[in-house]
A = this chain, B = another copy of it.
Amino acid sequence: MQNTYAIGIDVGGTNTDMGLVRDDATIVARRSIPTTNYTQLEPYVHDIMEQIESMVAAGDNDKGVEHISLGELTGIGIGAPNGNFYTGCVEWAPNLPIKGLLKFEEEFHKYVDCPVVLSNDANAAAYGEYVYGGARWMEHFIMITLGTGVGSGIVVDGKLVHGHTGTAGELGHNILIPGGRQCSCGRKGCLEAYTSARGIVQTYVELRQQKGTPAEAAQHSDWIGAEVPDKEISSKMIGDAANAGDPLAVETYAQVGEWLGLACANACTFSAPQAIFLMGGPTKVGAPLLEPLKRSFEKNLLNIYKGKCDILMSQLKANEVAILGAAALVRLRK
């Protein structure tokens, strides 16, 4: 059978990454342009299209395909902050240099006739897992992405949940601890305030204020020493220290796991998923996060869901998920 090809575009605040994706989940070619160079949509899409044309013109060497015409593409999928699936627009994304209501779908249709499908980046990651990754035979699952923020994509009956507004699936802003920590959204106690990279650092810093750096830290080059100022601490540094046995770092991730496990258990009461997938920098720490997370999940899970939902790591590579997820969106129909 002949292969098919889609374009996946990941719109980031700094760079816009794109790839030509073969239906067997191979990124045949990839390009990048600096998003920061643009303040208007027209030249931005124009330059993205130039890159797309160069990728399709180069074809697919692995398969001996010398050239793919634009007309052969199954579609262009775009993962973008505040991307609205229903309208095909990016709506006032705070961290993009191009401001306002951006009619992405309409602008791309000046160049191509194929479907142009837009959603936010966490939804794209979820759908990438469904089309290309570990959720390929799952009709009900949830993806939670940990990073600067906490995002999520929810798949029900094999479809992404976009809701009435087109912006469903914001589990990072589920209020986990009423009256709890200040969140960047202006409210208090959101999951994001506890389990984003920033939330993880905050937990470490709070614990260190309470308990002080352990005296043994000086003998362990991979623990976080008292001389490291709060501002220089990253979630990755805490993760490395946790894996080296630094008790404050271990306790930090134990708390993060406790919170995330509760959030996962709560998510089950909504859509009873077959699995909850995790991805993003802070999940790479491994056992110091996952073990307490799974304990908390089991403890907080309603009886009828016990043994019926797995906590899994994304099976897509960190440097491919954004492009694959965006390309996967092409399979969604409105």
Contact assessment for B165 and A308 in the assembled complex, using a CB-CB cutoff below 8 Å: yes
Contact assessment for B266 and A168 in the assembled complex, using a CB-CB cutoff below 8 Å: no
Residue of B nearest to A190 (CB): B302
- List the B side residues contacting A272 at CB < 8 Å: 161-169
Q: Is A303 an interface residue (CB 8 A)?
A: yes
A residues adjacent to B (C-beta < 8 A): 138-141, 154, 156-157, 159, 161-178, 185-187, 262, 265-267, 269-274, 300, 302-305, 308-309
Contact assessment for A139 and B159 in the assembled complex, using a CB-CB cutoff below 8 Å: no
Q: How distant is the Cα of A305 from the Cα of B162 in the complex, in angstroms?
A: 12
Q: How distant is the Cα of A300 from the Cα of B169 in the complex, in angstroms?
A: 16
Chain B nearest Cβ from A195, distance in angstroms:
14
- List the B side residues contacting A265 at CB < 8 Å: 175
- List the B side residues contacting A154 at CB < 8 Å: 270-271
- List the B side residues contacting A172 at CB < 8 Å: 269
- List the B side residues contacting A175 at CB < 8 Å: 262, 265-266, 300
Enumerate 20 A-B pairs (CB-CB under 8 Å) in ascending A order.
Answer: A140-B168, A156-B157, A162-B272, A163-B271, A163-B273, A164-B272, A164-B309, A166-B272, A167-B304, A168-B270, A169-B269, A172-B269, A173-B269, A174-B270, A177-B178, A185-B302, A187-B302, A267-B270, A270-B270, A270-B271
Q: How distant is the Cα of A177 from the Cα of B309 in the complex, in angstroms?
A: 23
Chain B nearest Cβ from A93, distance in angstroms:
11
Q: How distant is the Cα of A30 from the Cα of B265 in the complex, in angstroms?
A: 40
- List the B side residues contacting A273 at CB < 8 Å: 163-164
The residue in A159, A273, A302 that gathers the most chain B C-beta atoms within 10 A of its C-beta is A302
Q: How distant is the Cα of A186 from the Cα of B95 in the complex, in angstroms?
A: 44
Q: How distant is the Cα of A271 from the Cα of B159 in the complex, in angstroms?
A: 12
- List the B side residues contacting A162 at CB < 8 Å: 272
- List the B side residues contacting A304 at CB < 8 Å: 165, 167, 170
